[in-house]
Amino acid sequence: MTNTHSIKTILLHATTQLKAQDFEAETAKLEAQLLLQYVLNVNRAWLISHQNDALQPNIHGTYRALIDRRINGEPIAYILGVREFYGLNLKVTPATLIPRPDTETLVDTALAKIPLQKNLNICDLGTGSGAIALAIAKHRPQAFLLALEASQAALDVAIENAKNLKISNVDFVLSDWFSALSQQNNTQKFDLIVSNPPYIEADDDHLSQGDLRFEPISALASGQDGLDDIRRIINQAPQHLNPHGWLLLEHGYNQAEKAATLLKQAGFSQISHAQDLAGIDRVTLGCIAQ
């Protein structure tokens, strides 16, 4: 196309192409706009008010390349390098899992367990982009959070997010679940441990579909039944919890009862579930007595 093509025409063409890839109409329109806003570094209001402007060929070429990446299935969060989660704009990269709305259920459930005026110690296992830890820290500034992550690349993203958001009540440590604490003979214990661990079955067909194709497999899959990491966390968590401390775990749509059974076997009580926006048991939590 030449520079005689308007922003409106180019957006319409891109939207049509995305719809042809089975994108819902509104999603296709929104993503076409978001990608052009990204290229032009403008907001949506500017885009609408300048819809009759011509787009220069070099800009159009850059935009077309982004649309092609999206058509090929690359998540828009990775293309834009950002994803909103719990009101926070977070940097994301292919080294991190893309924060999802379902995980806001975990944050809601955690915040309900953290009184506003108490200086509780909280641990976020497998922090990734830092989404969960930073959301909790933002809403409970008197709490102290330790965020553990096994990937240095992901940890670097989380640290950058904390800096960009000016959230200072989180420390980040490279650790395979609790391993760094155990190796250092760290006696620090927590009032609350939260985690969104990998919980997809290793041979699940969904791993080769949609956004999951581009996300780090280590943050998604966990053994034949998807529960390997959940078992490890539940078995190790009691030694890292204060008396009457809580463990909160996000899991798959069909894993709530299995998670509850594992918690009970490990000595947890007051076991319950929290539902996501679709009414699915998404979080299972329990309290340790000792």
User: CA-CA distance, 73 to 53, in Å (whole number)?
Assistant: 29
For residues 106 and 196, the answer to whether their CB atoms sit within 8 Å is yes
2 — pLDDT class (breaks 50, 70, 90): very low
For residues 119 and 240, the answer to whether their CB atoms sit within 8 Å is no
User: CA-CA distance, 7 to 172, in Å (whole number)?
Assistant: 43
β-bridge mates for residue 248, sequence order: 194, 285
Tokens 């909103």, residue located: 84
For residues 101 and 266, the answer to whether their CB atoms sit within 8 Å is no
Give me the mean pLDDT over the 258-284 stretch: 95
pTM, two decimals, is 0.88
pLDDT, averaged across the chain: 89
- Provide the 10 A C-beta neighbour count for residue 278: 10
User: CA-CA distance, 174 to 8, in Å (whole number)?
Assistant: 47
For residues 181 and 175, the answer to whether their CB atoms sit within 8 Å is yes
| 225-256 pLDDT tens trace | 668 888 899 999 999 999 999 999 999 888 89
149-153-154 Cα angle (round to 5): 45
Res. 210: pLDDT tops 70: no
Res. 83: pLDDT tops 50: yes
Res. 215: pLDDT tops 60: no
3-state SS class at 78: helix
User: CA-CA distance, 163 to 153, in Å (whole number)?
Assistant: 16
3-state SS class at 149: strand
Q: What is the pLDDT of residue 164?
A: 97
User: Is the pLDDT higher at 221 or at 115?
Assistant: 115
For residues 29 and 16, the answer to whether their CB atoms sit within 8 Å is no
Give me the mean pLDDT over the 258-286 stretch: 95
| CATH fold group of domain 95-288 | Rossmann fold (3.40.50)
Give me the mean pLDDT over the 69-88 stretch: 94
206 — pLDDT class (breaks 50, 70, 90): low
User: Is the pLDDT higher at 22 or at 51?
Assistant: 51
User: Pairing between strand 281-288 and 88-91?
Assistant: unpaired
Domain ranges of the chain: 7-72, 95-288
User: CA-CA distance, 287 to 290, in Å (whole number)?
Assistant: 9
User: Is the pLDDT higher at 66 or at 217?
Assistant: 66
